[in-house]
Amino acid sequence: MVIKKINEITDEIQDVELTAKVLSLSQKERNSEKGNSVYHYGLLGDETGVLPFTAWNISSMVREKDVVNIKRAYTKKYNDKIRIYFDDKTEFALKPDVEMEVKRTYNYEKIKNLGSGVKFVTLEGILREEKEREFENNGEKRKVYSYVMDDDTGSIRISSFGRKLPMGHGVRLEGVKIDEFNGRVNASLGERAEVHDIELQIEKGPKFTYISEIVNPIGGIYITGFPISIGEKSGLIKRCKECKKKIDDERCETHPEAGFYYDIFAYFNVDDGTGYISVTTGMDAIKDICGIKPEELSNEKRPPLKKEIYERIERSLMGKALKIQGSLSKNTMGMSLRASLVSSIRVEDNKELKKIMESEFL
Amino acid sequence: MREGKREPARWIFSKELRETTVVEENTESEKIRSMFLTPLGSNGRRIFFVGNVTNQREDEKSIRLTVSDPTGAFYLSFFERDFNQNVKRQLEKIELNQNVAVMGRVSHYTGEDGKILFNINPELIHETDTESMNFWNMRTAYLCRRRIIGSKEALKKADISQSVLTASGLTEDEAEGILKSIKAYPNYDYTKFEEVLTSLLFNQQISQNINIAKDGIIEFLSSGVDPQGIKYEEIVSELLKKGVSQNEVDEALNVLGREGDVFEVSLKRYRKI
């Protein structure tokens, strides 16, 4: 049997002893031919780091936050990552007198790989677009700062509670909480998270992705492809002057006296040869490609015509290779891209895309 | 990515469809559906392509088009009895020699010589532009290359699994198609297809460079006020700064002259018209 600290466990070991704190402990049911059984899983940490464990068998005395001496455990790789395992031979001895300060370690993730579900990770990128707002917690006023973080795969919104973060240069954020809100991946920084300045170069602008590679609802990306269908309700819409919500009738139900103004909304499917995705867009993103001027929508002498606007959008988009920048979001219909800019593919775009495609074959 | 809603439209060159000899019957749903399986591992019932309308015939019952891409031709038919009048309206706007983007369902029939021939029933057809065509050619060539490399890798090892192919970077869809096609086309010669792709990308590069040269020349000539025009050497020297070679400048000047955008004032002196 070998005695190890967590950071020394890097490979598969048959018989290992360690003293560690149980940081989390959950249970799961397993259905097999032999019937139903329960196993436990969670995180173990010591002064050197944190590792996940799976317990086919665990002493009922062991609870979260206990410091435990563990003998006859073993380690194996699961999904190419090392994990500690306990079985019926593993021995547990509680160490209530031991105080242990756990060194938290988090997996480094690229933004495009931030899956759904709550987890803590390390991110590296450059922050921009600082916004500050106040909120009240238990009667106490506190500040929250929000940013957009870019790395070389995409971008994500990030909130920092009570702490201003450095912008414009590389940072490594350790212990960032990832969760999903409103169909988008969000990140937040609590008090325990660490912020380090690092050297980092990132090309500005949205990052190219093939539709087949889209997995998580992140921002800061662009796709290229042809529209293969356009929603028949695309085109001219009316919005309430007060709440700006889309109205189907002449009046907003909540603000019947407010009146309305015209706006543009379009939705269409785009195919890039690897798959297709639904794209939604507003006036700002398509006004240039469709040649629709804002004053056309507010011209009271000649109000815009629904059919005419639809046809102009259709004529501008269909049959053309497009570059679409925006943010992904997930809803009951699947993933969709909210466009921030829709433009025609130009010579420079084709040159850039050629470089991207050829780099794969080098 | 949206999944399970619509059958994917495969981006393939006409050569890939023309060399297809396998049509599978899919009996998973209530209807029996024919799915093409190409030698490069593309399979399905729907394709998306871009090309030039090289032939157009219309009678009371049907509209027929031939659309050529750089590797050959697709044959399209639309019959009056087809319910999609929206497609008919789109087809009526199409003219000979126009560049078009088409999505359509593939149907097949067997000729007298036993050869399978394919026909496309268009679901959408719209006029397109040069850069969109370049984009489609490039992306389709890229997708072909991925499948060719995947097929060659798969042929190296007997009983290679789908997961090994996906681990090498192919999508599940690509890997599944490749495994089917290497069984269905055991003696397919990939080198010929690779040669076609190489020549296509080379020609496209030349044509792209000439377009860049044309834009650069027009921009440079627009800056000149001398009625005697700008000297050839000055144009070459200016365009060299933009990475355009002398040969490309020569070709672009010829094209601009033919198109009536540039005029040779005197020997080797040019002016914008």
pLDDT in tens, A159-200: 999 899 999 999 999 989 998 888 889 899 988 788 999 988
Of A168, A197, A226, which closes a domain? A197
What are the residues facing A240 on neighbouring strands? A260
Please tell me whether residues A129 and A185 are part of one structural domain. Answer: yes
Residue A265 lies in a domain: yes
User: Do residue A345 and residue B145 have CB atoms under 8 angstroms apart?
Assistant: no
More confident residue, A359 or B53: B53
By CA distance, what is A350's nearest residue in B? B135
CATH of domain B9-129: 2.40.50.140
- Within 8 A of B41 by CB-CB distance, chain A residues are none
Q: Kindly list the distances between the CA atom of residue B87 and the CA atoms of A230, A313, B83, in Å, as whole numbers in the listed order.
A: 13, 17, 9
Among B84, B139, B208, B219, most A C-beta atoms within 10 A, so best to mutate, is: B139
ipTM: 0.81
Q: Does A298 touch chain B (CB under 8 A)?
A: no
Please tell me whether residues A263 and A245 are part of one structural domain. Answer: yes
User: Which element (helix H / strand E) includes A209?
Assistant: none
Residue-by-residue pLDDT tens, chain B, 273 positions: 444 467 899 999 999 999 999 998 877 667 778 899 999 999 999 999 999 999 999 888 899 999 999 999 999 999 888 768 889 889 989 999 999 999 999 999 888 888 899 999 999 999 999 999 999 999 999 999 999 999 999 999 888 889 899 988 899 999 999 999 999 999 999 999 999 998 888 777 777 778 788 888 998 988 877 788 899 999 999 988 888 888 889 988 988 888 788 888 888 889 888
Q: What is the pLDDT of residue B3?
A: 43
| Number of neighbours of residue A138 by Cβ within 10 angstroms | 5
In this model, does residue A50 exceed pLDDT 90? no
Q: What is the pLDDT of residue A116?
A: 64
Cα–Cα dist A103/A6, whole Å: 10
User: Do residue B143 and residue A274 have CB atoms under 8 angstroms apart?
Assistant: yes
User: Do residue A276 and residue B1 have CB atoms under 8 angstroms apart?
Assistant: yes
Please tell me whether residues A57 and A81 are part of one structural domain. Answer: yes
Cα–Cα dist A224/B57, whole Å: 33
In this model, does residue A105 exceed pLDDT 80? no
CA angle, corner B17, sides to B14 and B21, nearest 5?
Answer: 150
Q: Does B218 touch chain A (CB under 8 A)?
A: no
More confident residue, A23 or A208: A208
Please tell me whether residues A189 and A129 are part of one structural domain. Answer: yes
Query: What part of B 55-94 touches A (C-beta under 8 Å)?
Result: none
Task: Summarize pLDDT for A52-82 with one digit per residue, the tens.
Answer: 899 999 998 999 889 999 999 999 988 777 8
Query: Considering its fold, how many domains does chain A have in total?
Result: 3
Please tell me whether residues A67 and A117 are part of one structural domain. Answer: no
Please tell me whether residues A179 and A217 are part of one structural domain. Answer: no
Please tell me whether residues A136 and A214 are part of one structural domain. Answer: no
Q: Does A278 touch chain B (CB under 8 A)?
A: yes
Q: What is the pLDDT of residue B1?
A: 42
Residue linked to tokens 């939604």: A280
The conformation of residue B8, written as its DSSP 8-state character, comes to: P
Q: What is the pLDDT of residue A249?
A: 76
In this model, does residue A30 exceed pLDDT 80? no
CATH number of the domain bearing residue A23: 2.40.50.140
At position B231, the amino acid (one-letter code) is K
End-to-end alpha carbon distance in chain B: 49
Cα–Cα dist B61/A213, whole Å: 43
Mean per-residue pLDDT for A114-138?
86
How far apart are the CA of B88 and the nearest CA of chain A, in angstroms? 15
Residue A29 lies in a domain: yes
Q: What is the pLDDT of residue A118?
A: 64
CA dihedral B20, B25, B29, B30 (to 10 degrees): 130
Please tell me whether residues A214 and A302 are part of one structural domain. Answer: yes
More confident residue, A104 or A245: A245
Predicted model pTM = 0.77
Q: What is the pLDDT of residue A254?
A: 87
CB pairs under 8 A between A and B: 101
User: Do residue A318 and residue B138 have CB atoms under 8 angstroms apart?
Assistant: no
Residue linked to tokens 């990140």: A187
Of A94, A117, A143, which closes a domain? A94
CA dihedral A193, A194, A199, A205 (to 10 degrees): 20
User: Do residue A226 and residue B139 have CB atoms under 8 angstroms apart?
Assistant: no
Residue A229 lies in a domain: yes
* Cβ atoms of residues A317 and A342 within 8 Å: yes
Average pLDDT, chain A: 90
User: Do residue A271 and residue B9 have CB atoms under 8 angstroms apart?
Assistant: yes
Parallel, antiparallel or unpaired: strands A2-3 and A260-271: unpaired
Mean per-residue pLDDT for A222-249?
91
Please tell me whether residues A229 and A123 are part of one structural domain. Answer: no
Query: What part of A 248-277 touches B (C-beta under 8 Å)?
Result: 269, 271-277
**Out of A273, A277, A346, closest to residue B140 by CB:** A273
How far apart are the CA of A201 and the nearest CA of chain B, in angstroms? 26
Cα–Cα dist B34/B12, whole Å: 17
Please tell me whether residues A238 and A168 are part of one structural domain. Answer: no
In this model, does residue A7 exceed pLDDT 70? yes
* Cβ atoms of residues B174 and B184 within 8 Å: no
User: Do residue B8 and residue A276 have CB atoms under 8 angstroms apart?
Assistant: yes
* Cβ atoms of residues B271 and B229 within 8 Å: yes
Please tell me whether residues A176 and A211 are part of one structural domain. Answer: no
Question: Cβ-count burial of A229 within 10 angstroms (0-12 exposed, 13-18 middle, 19+ buried)?
Answer: middle
Dihedral class, residue A162 (left if φ above 0, else alpha if ψ from -120 to 50, else beta): left
Please tell me whether residues A213 and A355 are part of one structural domain. Answer: yes
Domain residue limits, chain B: 9-129, 136-192, 206-272
Strand order in the sheet with B230-231: B230-231, B269-272, B262-266
Question: Cβ-count burial of B256 within 10 angstroms (0-12 exposed, 13-18 middle, 19+ buried)?
Answer: buried
**Out of A224, A275, A360, closest to residue B8 by CB:** A275
User: Do residue A274 and residue B171 have CB atoms under 8 angstroms apart?
Assistant: yes
Residue A202 lies in a domain: no
User: Do residue A276 and residue B212 have CB atoms under 8 angstroms apart?
Assistant: no
Query: What part of B 167-186 touches A (C-beta under 8 Å)?
Result: 169, 171, 173
Q: Does A146 touch chain B (CB under 8 A)?
A: no
Q: Which CB contacts under 8 angstroms, 24+ apart, belong to A131-140?
A: none
Crossing angle (nearest 10°) for helices A283-290 and A306-317: 70
Q: Which domain holds residue A45?
A: 2-94
Q: What is the pLDDT of residue B264?
A: 87
Of A177, A197, A217, which closes a domain? A197
**Out of A224, A278, A334, closest to residue B135 by CB:** A224
Mean per-residue pLDDT for A2-28?
90
- Within 8 A of B6 by CB-CB distance, chain A residues are 269, 276
How far apart are the CA of A316 and the nearest CA of chain B, in angstroms? 10
- Provide the token pair at A320: 């053309």
User: Which element (helix H / strand E) includes A112?
Assistant: none
Residue A100 lies in a domain: no
Distance of CA B183 to the CA centre of its chain: 27
Q: Does B2 touch chain A (CB under 8 A)?
A: yes
What are the residues facing A346 on neighbouring strands? none
Parallel, antiparallel or unpaired: strands A35-46 and A13-32: antiparallel
- Within 8 A of B129 by CB-CB distance, chain A residues are 320, 344
Q: What is the pLDDT of residue B5?
A: 64
Residue linked to tokens 């690229």: A110
- Provide the token pair at A123: 């991110």
Q: Does A342 touch chain B (CB under 8 A)?
A: no
Handedness of CA B68, B244, A204, A120 (dihedral sign): positive
> Going by C-beta distance under 8 Å and a sequence separation of 6 or more, which residues neighbour residue B247?
none
Cα–Cα dist B273/B262, whole Å: 5
- Within 8 A of B136 by CB-CB distance, chain A residues are 226, 321
Residue A310 lies in a domain: yes
Q: What is the pLDDT of residue B2?
A: 43
